[in-house]
Structure 1
Amino acid sequence: MDRAEDWLLTLAQRHRLSPTQRQIVQRMLGMFPDVAFLSTIEIAERTGVSQPTVTRLATALGFAGFPEFRAALRDVVVGVSPAPERQSVPAIEQEMANLESLKRVLDGDRMREAVRLLAGTTPLGVIGLRASAAPAEYFGYFARRLLPAVGVCTDAGTVDDSVLEWRDQGATALLAFAMPRYPAATVAAIRLARRLGLATVVVADTALAPFAADVDVLLVAPVGTGLVFDSHAAVIVLAVSLLDAIAATDPRRTQQRLEAHEALVDNWIHHA
């Protein structure tokens, strides 16, 4: 059954699946050979999801429907057709490849333009909704050590208000993190910012993001897709690299602000 499991795993990693769909695949890997002969109802019961969710998995994997997917699965199980050569890589190796590809971004003109825009705006607004909230908060936490005014919005209900407020306070640019699945409110906020005259720097997982044409500077940080949920190692490295480059634009201010912060450290760190 190893060959059949490899076939399903390779197929899954060639397509962008939702976390729920990845979880179904992982559970199906432990159900061979029976899984090739089960109905959508039976698979749904064994994997703990709804029948329509199982059907959507089949189409997400590139099949016209579940019957076509099951037929292909049966062929692999009984050895009618050879399993494709496995091209997937473990999650750690995929992250290493993502970080390797990030080198071109960090050394490129888009990175330099992003730094120029973000270092030159006061305040600096940062947007990150849903899955992008964590990298946005991470960036904002450390950006406050470097810059005099940083705002972070992770609430879809107030993001437009935040963009308007930043513009009224004198902002000339903002930073947005837009990871899959792209929230509609993020895209709307990016478009609003441009209509208001703000330059937009966006960190996304691909240059082919559907809103790429609405962005002034698009920085690509691939996400890891080998686990149930996307991993954002490259996104965090890009965020820290942005902070480092922004700090270098005004070394004196950076030193003064970091020293002021350091003077407060004893108030909040734990002493053994």
Structure 2
Amino acid sequence: MPQLDDHQLEGVRGWLIGLVHEHRLSPTQRRVVQHMLDSMPQVAFASTIDMAEAAGVSQPTVTRIATALGFSGYAEFRNAARDAVLSATPPPAASTTGPPPTTPGAALAHERQNLRTVEATIASDAMRRAVDLIADSRPLGIVGLRVSAALANYVGYLAQRIMPDVHVLDDAAGLDDDLTQLHLDGATTLLVFAMPRYPDATVRALARARELGMTTVGIVDTPLAPFAHLIDVCLVAPVGQDLVFDSHAAAVTLSIALLEGVAASDARRTRTRLEAHEERVAEWEYRAP
């Protein structure tokens, strides 16, 4: 097995990082990839059994990682990794920029890029239209299922401070009934969070909202989402993919900016409602003795 200096090792890791950024991996698969990065260059000469034992996963999981990264199987992935190690330079299609994603610095660097994307979204015509649609809808429904439920509940909690009649829909089982009720109550807009992996129920909700005549505003990780045609106003907030779990920092920032626009659209209503909530703070806020 060849010995690599730090510069050469960074290049080989960059090859694998490039593959990870080009493909969607599950949290389990990302954990194994992080082990691979920490184990370079030994990974390029390890069997699936060795890799599985070292990473604490099953052998099929290791094989699925290879196919998830675009290879026909683990043997092809290992051959490509071996070529990268032996040449000490990444293949032409690989990316060598940035530190390994196992470091906090790499995650932060990627997140800064995501926030730059959000900055452009916030300044867009789509953002202005989304603000108008959400501000005018009464009631307003906010959909978020599985991992997106946390985003929906967070935004819903804050939206209730400045808007009347906000409903967070995070239960797939009753979603169809909830959408029908929103429509009957006069809702004109549905705000939908759709972060990967996308639940099938989220796509069905978008289709159902369209059938009911509601306009859909979607906060998604990419404009290339396979259901983008069901979203009337698409706001893009990329996810950070460098660690085991996705980071939704960009989606949170975009959501707060969206609520800022809604608040400004009716300043009197916003002021009245915020003052009413502020009067109750003394009843629940902890104060040190």
In the alignment, what sits opposite 2:89? 82
After superposition, give the CA deviation of every residue in 1:1-23 in whole Å (9 maximum; x if it has no partner).
42433432333233222211110
After superposition, give the CA deviation of every residue in 1:119-173 in whole Å (9 maximum; x if it has no partner).
1111111000111111111100100001110110112212222111111111111
2-side partners of 1:167 and 1:37: how far apart?
Answer: 59
After superposition, give the CA deviation of every residue in 1:11-55 in whole Å (9 maximum; x if it has no partner).
323322221111001112233343222222221222122222111
2-side partners of 1:171 and 1:88: how far apart?
Answer: 46
Is the 2:17–2:95 contact (alpha carbons within 8 Å) kept by the matching residues of 1?
no
Q: Return the offset for 1:85.
A: 5.4
- Of the three residues 29, 41, 50, the one matched with 1:42 is 50
Is the 2:139–2:164 contact (alpha carbons within 8 Å) kept by the matching residues of 1?
yes
In the alignment, what sits opposite 1:109? 125
2-side partners of 1:180 and 1:222: how far apart?
Answer: 10
Q: How many pairs are equivalent?
A: 271
1-side partners of 2:61 and 2:173: how far apart?
Answer: 29
In the alignment, what sits opposite 1:173? 189
In the alignment, what sits opposite 2:30? 22
2-side partners of 1:94 and 1:162: how far apart?
Answer: 37
1-side partners of 2:190 and 2:20: how far apart?
Answer: 36
Structure 2 SS opposite 1:127: strand
2-side partners of 1:11 and 1:179: how far apart?
Answer: 21
RMSD between aligned residues: 1.5
In the alignment, what sits opposite 1:8? 16
Asked if residue 214 in structure 1 is aligned to residue 250 in structure 2, the reply is no
1-side partners of 2:239 and 2:193: how far apart?
Answer: 12
Structure 2 residues without counterparts, runs of 5 or longer: 100-105
- Of the three residues 257, 260, 265, the one matched with 2:273 is 257
- Of the three residues 187, 192, 214, the one matched with 2:208 is 192
Structure 2 SS opposite 1:152: strand
In the alignment, what sits opposite 1:225? 241
1-side partners of 2:173 and 2:271: how far apart?
Answer: 37
Q: Return the offset for 1:217.
A: 0.7
CA separation of 1:11 and 1:270: change in aligned 2, threshold 3 A = same
Q: Which amino acid aligns with 1:124?
A: L
In the alignment, what sits opposite 1:143? 159
1-side partners of 2:201 and 2:25: how far apart?
Answer: 22
2-side partners of 1:7 and 1:246: how far apart?
Answer: 44
Is the 1:10–1:88 contact (alpha carbons within 8 Å) kept by the matching residues of 2?
no
Percent sequence identity over aligned pairs: 53
Structure 1 residues without counterparts, runs of 5 or longer: none
